[in-house]
Structure 1
Amino acid sequence: MNPPIELPLGNDSVRFTYDGRVFIEDAIKALTGEKKQEPARVWNKIKKDHPTVLTYCSSYLTSEGDKIQTIDVEGMDMIFQLLLEYM
């Protein structure tokens, strides 16, 4: 398995898979400036309020064995638009 690609974005970094999927909570944190635990809260709220976003998601298995949710470009566009509701 290839390690994720990590790109700096402001004071944060966002991880991507080699096929272009975005680590969801990284992106939410970088785009909103939320504190460490808040991206998970925002993501859980988005999933609850807009479950169709899950059709764009898949899990990425880290080298440590953790499963992290990723999303494709179309799904990230949806999240980007929805974030305004949660800020």
Structure 2
Amino acid sequence: MSPIEVYLEDTPVRFTDDGHMFVVDAIAVVSEAFIDGADMRQAGSLWEELVRRNPELLAYCREFEGGGDGVVPVVDSDGWDKIHEKLFERLLEEYV
């Protein structure tokens, strides 16, 4: 199945047909508020750093293959709450 794309602040965020959000897409949208010109490459690096610092975050994700990116992490709303909390802490450390 192809992912569903929703635009938030002119940035696409993809979802699976069962409502799981692409983690790196969501990180790109959130990080734009802190980093001017943030892109998917920076979002991918932020995700890798978050996982290094908080490997338990992977337990909230599942792998999805589709959308042309190979296998990518996707998350439901409860999992995103956990990731978002750690992401926000990380962004505050460096950019505020």
The TM-score, its normalising length taken from structure 1, stands at: 0.88
Name the CA distance, whole Å, in 2 between partners of 1:21 and 1:68. Answer: 11
Matches within 5 A, 1:52-67: 52-62=56-66, 64=68, 66-67=70-71
Which residue is equivalent to 1:19? 18
Q: Is the 8 A contact 2:2 2:16 kept in 1?
A: yes
Matches within 5 A, 1:41-56: 41-56=45-60
* Deviates most, 29-38 or 64-73: 64-73
CA RMSD between the two structures:
1.5
**Matching of residue 32 in structure 1 with residue 36 in structure 2:** no
Name the CA distance, whole Å, in 2 between partners of 1:65 and 1:43. Answer: 15
The sequence identity of aligned pairs, in percent, is 29
Which residue is equivalent to 1:80? 84
Name the CA distance, whole Å, in 1 between partners of 2:27 and 2:69. Answer: 22
* Deviates most, 44-53 or 59-68: 59-68
Name the CA distance, whole Å, in 2 between partners of 1:56 and 1:36. Answer: 21
Q: How many residues are matched?
A: 86
Which residue is equivalent to 1:3? 2
Runs (4+) of structure 1 exceeding 3 A deviation are: none
| Structure 1 residues 37 and 63: alpha-carbon distance in aligned structure 2, compared to 1, 3 A threshold | closer
